[in-house]
Amino acid sequence: MSSEVSTSQGTQNVRGNPLRNVWDQPPSARPGFQLDSAHFVSEPEPELLSVAWNQDFGCFAAGTSDGFRIYNSDPFKETFRRDLKSGGFGIVEMLFRTNILALVGGGSDPQYPPNKVLIWDDHQSRCIGEFSFRSPVRAVRLRKDTIVIVLEHKVYVHNFSDLKLLHQIETMSNPRGLCCLSQNVNTSVLACPGLQVGHVRVEHFGLKVTKFIAAHDSNVACMALTMDGLLLATASMKGTLIRIFNTLDGTRLQEVRRGLDRAEIHSITLSPNVQWLACSSDKGTVHVFRLRVRVASKEDLADQHSPSSLPSPVTIAHQTSTSSVDSLLPPTPSTDGDNSSSSLSFMRGVLPKYFSSEWSFAQLHLPEVTRYITAFGSHNAIMIVGMDGSFCKCSFDPENGGVMTKEEEVCFLKSDKK
């Protein structure tokens, strides 16, 4: 069944198709790629244009100057690739492990213009949806019922089944394409920059609630939501502090300190069990922080499509406010390895605030040569993908913290061709 819709933003076309889990299948189980003229090439090694984790951190996609590749994270292995005669992809967004990808051209020789989004069904090897805009696409976010396309000054939210435009949201200048989506089936939450410096706009679509959060005094540089969308973590362009908010009422629940010097935050990740937060920056250090907030909703936000389903209230256990250092201090003394708060916090009224800040629980130092994107694995593992084509898996001690232990390192762009 087909439908075609023309709007002032462009033309969209979609043909319905069921979702399949395909990335664990051998390449012979999938048809050939049909984007213009495509064939397998052997060299030279392509330029890496983008890396992005899927929604549950089980895979990541790499967009290259001649196609894209899919990698499994645990155990690490390349599961699939499309190498093209010419043409690169600057955005490759997965939908969990299904056959659906969102593709945007990129690099010096893009496969398609950077103002076009293709919704690609790799099982059928064909495009099932297409969006065109007047300006470059900065990011695409997917969930099983929603497609979100981010431009520099607008966010478009489309229904997945028919590509109908549901919402368009104006933002301040957003060249990084900041936007995040919840993935819980019972919640539909989107966060993106607001219209004021340092503000984040949060949309609870099912509840029909919009919340504006004054997160920072300077522009927001990075953000992340929990899977249910009830917690939001943000960092500013200064890159020294990360703040965690309740998305329903905008309350600041916790504040942690990455460091004293300015830094560019490359990624923020919240663990699926909402116990840990990881971040990476241009300083080359990956930090892990212990979250001291707990969401105690009634299992999930059931039947969110009714206004009466607004939590009554969703209880988030925390120590009242982060305006006081007391609210972030653990109830019992820290172990020697837990550097979660400064030992000088008793002098909070005398020394500058950073002496009583909550510092990272575990750390890993990497070369300051590229951008790193973090994700959580099982058994207290952190997985890190670098824009230099590196993959690193490490683990941290959940009791004592400290320096993380490297378990695996791979240069995935230099793996043998198939």
The residue with greater pLDDT, 342 or 264, is 264
Residues in the chain: 418
Helix, strand, coil percentages (3-state) for the chain, rounded to 5, are: 5, 45, 50
Minimal CA–CA distance to 266: which of 151, 388, 140? Answer: 388
pLDDT tens digits for 293-335?
A: 865 544 444 444 444 444 434 444 543 333 333 333 333 333 3
* Average pLDDT over every residue of 148-165: 97
Residue 342 in 3-state DSSP? coil
Minimal CA–CA distance to 274: which of 239, 316, 333? Answer: 316
Neighbours of 229 (CB within 10 A): 26
Query: Contact, 223 vs 200, CB < 8 A?
Result: yes
Order the strands of the 252-257 sheet from edge to edge.
220-225, 231-236, 241-246, 252-257
d(CA 320, CA 251): 9
d(CA 90, CA 80): 18
pLDDT higher than 60, residue 241: yes
Identify the pLDDT of residue 349.
46
